Amino acid sequence: MNTMSPSISAEAGMLGKGAAVPVPDSQRKDTLMEDKPEDTVIEEGKTVGQPFTADPKFKLRNVDVSYGADRAIKNISLDIGRNEVIAFIGPSGCGKSTFLRCLNRMNDSIDICRVKGSLELDDQNIYDSKRDVVELRARVGMVFQKPNPFPKSIYDNVAYGPRIHGLANRKSELDDIVENSLRKAGLWNEAKDRLDSMATGMSGGQQQRLCIARAIAVSPEVILMDEPCSALDPIATARVEELIAEMSESYTIVIVTHSMQQAARVSNRTAYFHMGHLVEVNKTDTVFTSPQHPLTESYITGRFG
Ligand SMILES: Nc1ncnc2c1ncn2[C@@H]1O[C@H](COP(=O)(O)OP(=O)(O)OP(=O)(O)O)[C@@H](O)[C@H]1O
Backbone angles phi, psi at 150, to 5 degrees: -70, 155
Q: Return the CATH number at 166.
A: 3.40.50.300
User: How far does the centroid of ligand 1 lie from the alpha carbon of residue 96, in Å?
Assistant: 8
One-letter amino acid of 277: H
User: Is residue 41 domain-resident?
Assistant: yes
Residue 108 within a domain: yes
| 92 in contact with ligand 1, CB cutoff 6 A | yes
- C-alpha 293/C-alpha 284 separation (Å) is 14
pLDDT of residue 1: 45
pLDDT value of position 54: 94
User: Residue 266 CB: number of other CB atoms within 10 A?
Assistant: 27
Provide the residue range defining the domain that includes 102. Answer: 8-300
Are the C-beta atoms of residues 2 and 267 closer than 8 Å to each other? yes
Q: For the chain, first and last CA: distance in Å?
A: 26
Q: From atom 24 of ligand 1, which residue's Cα is the shortest distance away? A: 92
CB 174 within 8 A of CB 168: yes
Is 72 a pocket residue for ligand 1 (Cβ < 6 Å)?
Answer: yes
* Rounded-to-integer distance, Cα 286 and Cα 288, Å: 5
6 close to 263: Cβ distance less than 8 angstroms: no
Taking CA atoms only, the protein residue closest to ligand 1 atom 11 is: 72
- Which of 25, 65, 73, 96 to mutate to test ligand 1, by most ligand atoms within 8 A of the CB atom? 96
pLDDT for the residue numbered 40: 73
73 C-beta closer than 6 A to ligand 1 = no
Is 165 inside any structural domain?
yes
pLDDT at 14: 30
C-alpha of residue 191 to centroid of ligand 1, in Å: 36
The per-residue pLDDT for 39 is 66
96 within some domain = yes
Would residue 305 count as lying in a domain?
no
Q: Please state, as a whole number, how many other Cβ atoms lie within 10 Å of the Cβ of residue 42.
A: 17
User: Ligand 1 pocket, 275 CB below 6 A?
Assistant: no
The interface pTM score, or ipTM, of the predicted complex is 0.98
Ligand 1 close to Cβ of residue 153 (< 6 A):
no
What confidence score (pLDDT) does residue 136 get?
96
Compute, in angstroms, the gap from residue 66 CA to the centroid of ligand 1: 10
Q: Give the HSE-up count for residue 203: Cα atoms under 13 Å, Cβ half-sphere.
A: 10
Candidates 60, 96, 97; CA nearest to 77 is 60
- The answer to whether position 3 is within a domain reads no
Q: What is the β-pairing status of strands 48-49 and 277-283?
A: parallel
If one counts the domains in the chain, the total is 1
Q: Which of 94, 98, 256 to mutate to test the pocket of ligand 1 (most atoms within 8 A of CB)?
A: 98
Q: Does any ligand 1 atom lie closer than 6 A to the CB of residue 94?
A: yes
For a mutational test of ligand 1's pocket, the pick from 25, 28, 66, 67, i.e. the residue with the most ligand atoms closer than 8 A to its C-beta, is 67
User: For position 68, what pLDDT does the model report?
Assistant: 97
In which residue ranges of the chain is pLDDT below 50?
A: 1-21, 28-34
**Residue 25 domain-assigned?**
yes
- Model pLDDT, residue 231: 87
Report pLDDT for 27. 54
Report if residue 1 sits inside a domain.
no
Give yes or no for residue 89 CB within 6 A of ligand 1: no
